Structure 1
């Protein structure tokens, strides 16, 4: 047995967590206790659910934990401190310069997964970390999944995350380019996109303002400057009967379905809500 395991001076995990949660709450962190527990589990190299079984920390573990809590209190994103972000069944590498995938986007990915038949060709535009594309590759038998991203920094994370998925094709490209993926025109079964969609000037949390790349967050004056060309591209790439799903801001609950209907090449246009009941993504089928 390690002699440190019975050292009476080792700090209690419960006290360290309480102090950390109080510090994070004072800093305005939305989920202070959860974040404190995840940081403690990271330092102790155990699942969060096992924290109740650990009574004390070693002094060096406490120092590392305290330093991480201080960084989180400065509104450094939790995922940057952990080095990964959870998305469905995946742990994705993240850091400054790439958009951190959000839980609500799992709904769009799940919608697409349910509509992906074996052998399908799928496209994920504005791929970022690859969260949607890799979930499709992980949970379906799609033959090919194209993950499109234009940011060099985001591409480095995308390629790293996609390394273990042979069906994923990483493509450097701009989704507003009508010639993007021209060789796939009329061949795509499913196209998903989580584009930049926050209207310019909208206040966002410090984690977003200071760490998520602005080009992955803001979508022009009305938030639709990327969504419009994405819908045009989807109409070009999808085969007849193919599906499209696009995430959007909660102020776009009517606007995005209206653009899909106005295009004239889509049917079954449907609006979807997120976990909180807010408008979050729209779907349609190519005529």
Structure 2
């Protein structure tokens, strides 16, 4: 274990010990906690572990190697072609659930759903919610549908998965003025920005790049959100930590929103902007 962690550390992996433990648990087919009472590793598992460590050292995302990504109370299937959900996004979901409290059957739209992390968490934690997950990327939407099917089979409120572009003027016209909440973790990385190899080499480009300032997709998203939301409905958008002033400014300048505010993540970095539909 120590040698694997050292190899990952040398390769620049941020959490080498944790990653090594999770990979060993995956190779053995046991929970990570079982490693505390592990006596030995058989040859087949050791071979699998070595291969996994080599891939992780080459900066293949941990979640692609295990095939799973934990998010709030769910464990989602992920792999090549879909953006891996990050823990920071869990706070946006928590904010959204607070806004939906007291609404028995809220209408919710998740724009750019990817793995379905936000949409499926909202449906799981607010069973009355009528959630639609919109995803443009053909590769990513396969994962959205897979995870939505798995959660419905587990007894969660089904989530509608729709292939579509969040900036399309014709998107979800039947929900115009009806949505209680629109939420999104959109592409927001400025073109040309440096990102970790796990992101640059493995996250789908449509989930990352947002134009010269990273906010081109957000500008189109705001038009859609303003149309979908009822007066008083809420909007929540995740952003890069450098956009804590620029994204709220874009929302304010749109003109259809009030109560624009920005929120930090657990590390104190600007992470998501919220607003309310005026009218």
Q: TM-score, normalised by structure 2?
A: 0.95
Q: Which position in structure 1 is the counterpart of 2:274?
A: 283
Is 1:142 aligned with 2:128?
Answer: yes
Give the ranges of 4+ consecutive aligned residues of structure 1 lying more than 6 Å apart after TM superposition.
none
Post-superposition Cα deviations, 1:195-246, rounded to whole Å, max 9, x if no partner, equal: 0001000011111111001111110111001001111111110011111000
Q: Which position in structure 1 is the counterpart of 2:145?
A: 159
Post-superposition Cα deviations, 1:106-165, rounded to whole Å, max 9, x if no partner, equal: 111111122222200100000001000000010003331000001111111100000133
The within-5 A match list for 1:76-115 is: 76-115=60-99
CA distance in structure 1 between the aligned counterparts of 2:212 and 2:178, rounded to whole angstroms: 33
Q: Which position in structure 1 is the counterpart of 2:106?
A: 120
Q: Which position in structure 1 is the counterpart of 2:9?
A: 25
Alpha carbons 1:253, 1:271 under 8 Å: kept: yes
Equivalent residues, number? 271
Alpha carbons 2:167, 2:223 under 8 Å: kept: no
CA distance in structure 1 between the aligned counterparts of 2:108 and 2:128, rounded to whole angstroms: 7
Is 1:57 aligned with 2:41?
Answer: yes
Post-superposition Cα deviations, 1:25-44, rounded to whole Å, max 9, x if no partner, equal: 11111110000000111122
CA distance in structure 2 between the aligned counterparts of 1:213 and 1:271, rounded to whole angstroms: 27
Q: Which position in structure 1 is the counterpart of 2:116?
A: 130
Q: TM-score, normalised by structure 1?
A: 0.92
CA distance in structure 2 between the aligned counterparts of 1:73 and 1:244, rounded to whole angstroms: 39
Alpha carbons 1:85, 1:91 under 8 Å: kept: yes
The within-5 A match list for 1:1-287 is: 17-116=1-100, 117-163=103-149, 164-165=151-152, 166-287=157-278
Gaps of 5+ in 1: 1-16
Counterpart of 2:209 in 1: which secondary structure?
A: coil
Instruction: Tell me the CA shift for residue 55 of structure 1.
Output: 2.0
